[in-house]
Chains A and B, each alone.
Chain A
Amino acid sequence: MANLNADAQARSYDAIVIGSGISGGWAAKELTEKGLKTLVLERGRDVQHIKDYPTTNLYPWEFEHRGEMPYAVQQANPIINRCYAFHEDAAHFFVKDQEHPYVQEKPFDWIRGYQVGGKSLLWARQTQRWSDLDFTGPARDGFAVDWPIRYADIAPWYDHVERFAGIAGNKDGLPELPDGEFLPAYPLNIVEKYFQQSVAKNFPQRKVISARCAHLSKPNQIHIDQGRVQCQNRTLCQRGCPFGGYFSSNSSTLPWAAKTGNLTVRPHSIVESIIYDDEKGKAVGVRVIDNETKDAIDFYARVIFVNAAALNTNLILLNSKSKRFPEGLGNDSGVLGKYVAFHNYSARISAEYEGYADFKTEGRNPAGGGYIPRFRNLHSQETDYLRGYAAGFSAYRPSNSDKAGLGKSLKESLLNPKLGRWQVGSHMMGETIPKESGTVSLDRSLKDAWGVPQLKIAVAYDENDEKMKKDYIATMTDMFTQAGFTNIQANVSSQAPGLDIHEMGGARMGLDPKTSILNKWNQVHSCPNVFVTDGASMTSTATQNPSLTYMAFAARAVDYAVQEMKKGNL
Chain B
Amino acid sequence: MASEEMEQLVRREYKQGFVTDIESDTVPPGLDESTIAFISQKKGEPQWMLEWRLEAYHQWLKMTPPSWAHLEYPPIDYQAISYFSAPKKPEDRPQSLDEVDPKLLETYEKLGIPLHERAALAGVAVDAVFDSVSVTTTFKEKLHEAGVIFCSISEAIREYPELVRQYLGTVVPQADNYFAALNSAVFTDGSFVYVPEGVKCPMELSTYFRINAANTGQFERTLIVCDKQAQVSYLEGCTAPMRDENQLHAAVVELVALEDAYIKYSTVQNWYPGDEDGKGGIYNFVTKRGDCRGDRSRISWTQVETGSAITWKYPSCMLRGKESIGEFYSVAVTNGRQQADTGTKMIHIGEGTRSTIVAKGIAAGRSDQSYRGLVKIGPRAKGARNYTQCDSLLIGDQCGAHTFPYQEIGNSTATVEHEATTSKIADDQLFYCRARGIDEEDAVSMIVNGFCKDVFQELPMEFAVEAEALLNVTLEGSVG
Does A pair with B? no
CB within 8 Å of A: which residues of B? none
